């Protein structure tokens, strides 16, 4: 079935270090969305990638969509304590039309 795998499950970094989370799908995605959930909060939409090989930046966050549209990554440069939370990728498949969420990567940042 349609499944989005996300790694790592947890990442603990020192403030100022970089962070990357990866998503993979066995089948081609129509697009991929990224969400952030703060502790005790709800998922909040960050960005959407649609085109093969697309790269988008939001300040210290860089999002990439693979050439084959089967994988994606989120990279945070020089993490801050405000980056703490769980980052989810969510893949949209042409068939079915529903968003399939990855398991999420929980980021903790030590000041």
Binding stretches for another protein (CB under 8 A): 30-31, 33, 41-45, 48, 50, 88, 92, 96-104
Q: CB neighbours of 107 closer than 8 A, spacing ≥ 6?
A: 11, 13, 19, 21, 76, 79, 83, 84, 85, 86, 87
CA 10 distance to own-chain centroid = 13
Tell me the C-alpha distance between 42 and 56, whole Å. 23
Closer residue to another protein, CB minimum distance, 27 or 80: 27
C-beta of 19 vs 88, nearer to another protein: 88
> Closer to another protein at the Cβ: 98 or 110?
98
Count the residues in the chain.
111
State the nearest-atom distance from the C-beta of 71 to another protein, in Å: 19
Query: Residue 101 Cβ, how far from another protein at the closest point, in Å?
Result: 4
Q: CA 48, CA 90: separation in Å to the nearest integer?
A: 9
Smallest separation, CB 33 to another protein (Å): 6
> CA 42 to CA 40: how far, in whole Å?
7
Which CB, 85 or 104, lies closer to another protein? 104
Report in angstroms how near the CB of residue 102 gets to another protein at its nearest: 8
């Amino acid at each position: 079935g349609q499944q989005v795998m996300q790694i790592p499950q947890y990442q603990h970094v020192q403030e100022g270090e970089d962070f990357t989370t990866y998503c993979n799908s066995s089948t081609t995605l129509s697009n991929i969305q990224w969400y952030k959930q703060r502790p005790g909060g709800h998922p909040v939409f960050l960005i959407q990638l649609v085109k093969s090989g697309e790269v988008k930046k939001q300040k210290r966050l860089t999002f990439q969509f693979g050439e084959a549209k089967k994988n994606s990554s989120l990279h945070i440069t020089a993490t801050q304590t405000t980056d703490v939370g769980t980052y989810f990728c969510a893949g949209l498949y042409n068939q079915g039309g529903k968003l399939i969420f990855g398991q999420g990567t929980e980021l903790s940042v030590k000041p």
